């Protein structure tokens, strides 16, 4: 009887977000062939739990170099949270014609500006999702790994009117690089600026008088591909953009890893950082069926007994 009661509760909870446990399990990663003028010449994939009600959140998930949309859905845990929380997902996918390593061109002028290139293509994908699935425009979020993290910062800086929050993992700050050569310097951790200088780059991306997105920043301390020092530079950029200082209001551990939170004068968390001690280049996962577990240890998804997408989903308020 207890099992039946739990099952009934689960089905009722699923119905509250416009889907059922059976319908949600039937969702698949699907390509959308046409979504706009697509100046960045990228591809679009969506994952939408069946019978998802309108007015639900939308999360943009951006892969890293050499990856594809299919590397970021189940493997990172995002499809689990989409099914569980009733959330639509959109996965932009880079093409080798744009970058031979399928990296995002966050260091190319047309691809780090609002209204052009890859950022506009991603924005058009968001618009398509809103139009076709009725996604809540006040709850649109973006996350990405490596070059996808760099593009996450591009989207947050160039479209602060679109995204409520973001989560870059193992990336570099917005406009850290403006050439191929400088992108290598950024990855190596040799580009440093003051918080005000970093913040000015964000403020210069778009004339915006509203609140900037909240940002959750993740990085492995042993990352040999994108230097761990970029976590601090990214933190300085988004704390300054959010008008707060660089002194953490909370310093604790989550899953045994250092975690810091930076709050505004009203006590609202605006920026947080996760330093994954000993982890290399990738996204933290914690394979298993537990409530806070997710993903699989494949490619750049690294099993450190902590599911990044779960904690990012909490940061987004899903």
Question: Catalytic residue positions?
Answer: 146
Residue 131: exposure state from Cβ atoms within 10 A (0-12, 13-18, ≥19): exposed
Please give the biggest Cα pair distance in the chain: 64
272-275's contacts with Cβ under 8 Å and 24+ in sequence apart are 272/215, 272/216, 272/217, 272/315, 273/216, 273/217, 273/218, 273/219, 273/231, 273/235, 274/216, 274/217, 274/218, 274/219, 274/308, 274/311, 275/219, 275/221, 275/228, 275/231
Tokens 């440093």 belong to which residue? 192
* CA-to-CA separations, 215 to 67, 176, 242, in angstroms, rounded: 23, 17, 10
Alpha carbons 97 and 260: distance in angstroms, whole number: 39
Give SS3 for 157. Answer: helix
Alpha carbons 250 and 272: distance in angstroms, whole number: 9
| Residue length of the chain | 318
* 171, 183 Cβ separation under 8 angstroms: no
């Amino acid at each position: 009887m207890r099992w039946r009661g739990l099952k009934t509760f689960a089905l009722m909870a699923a119905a509250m977000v416009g889907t059922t446990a059976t319908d949600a399990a039937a969702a698949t990663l699907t390509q959308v062939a046409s979504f706009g003028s697509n100046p960045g010449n990228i591809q679009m994939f969506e994952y939408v739990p069946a019978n998802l009600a309108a007015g639900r959140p939308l999360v943009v998930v951006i892969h890293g170099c050499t990856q594809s949309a299919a590397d970021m859905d189940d493997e990172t845990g995002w499809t689990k949270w989409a099914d569980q929380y009733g959330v639509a997902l959109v996965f932009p996918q880079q093409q080798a014609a744009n970058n031979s390593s399928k990296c995002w061109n966050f260091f190319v002028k047309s691809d780090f500006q609002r209204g052009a290139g890859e950022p506009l293509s991603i924005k058009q994908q968001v618009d398509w999702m809103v139009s076709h699935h009725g996604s809540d425009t006040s709850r649109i979020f973006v996350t990405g790994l490596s070059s996808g993290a760099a593009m996450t910062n591009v989207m947050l800086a160039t479209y602060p009117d679109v995204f409520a929050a973001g989560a870059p993992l193992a990336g570099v700050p917005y406009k850290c690089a403006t050439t191929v050569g400088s992108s290598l310097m950024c990855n190596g951790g040799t580009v440093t600026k003051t918080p005000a200088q970093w913040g000015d780059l964000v403020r210069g991306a778009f004339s915006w008088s509203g609140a900037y997105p909240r940002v959750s920043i993740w990085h492995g301390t042993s990352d040999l591909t994108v230097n761990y020092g970029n976590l601090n530079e990214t933190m300085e950029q988004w704390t300054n953009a959010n008008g707060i200082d660089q002194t953490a209001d909370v310093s604790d551990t989550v899953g045994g890893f250092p975690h810091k939170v930076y709050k505004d004068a009203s006590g609202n968390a605006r920026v947080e950082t996760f330093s994954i001690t000993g982890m290399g280049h990738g996204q933290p996962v914690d394979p298993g069926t537990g409530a806070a577990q997710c993903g699989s240890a494949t490619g750049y998804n690294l099993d450190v007994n902590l599911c990044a997408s779960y904690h990012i989903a909490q940061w987004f308020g899903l």
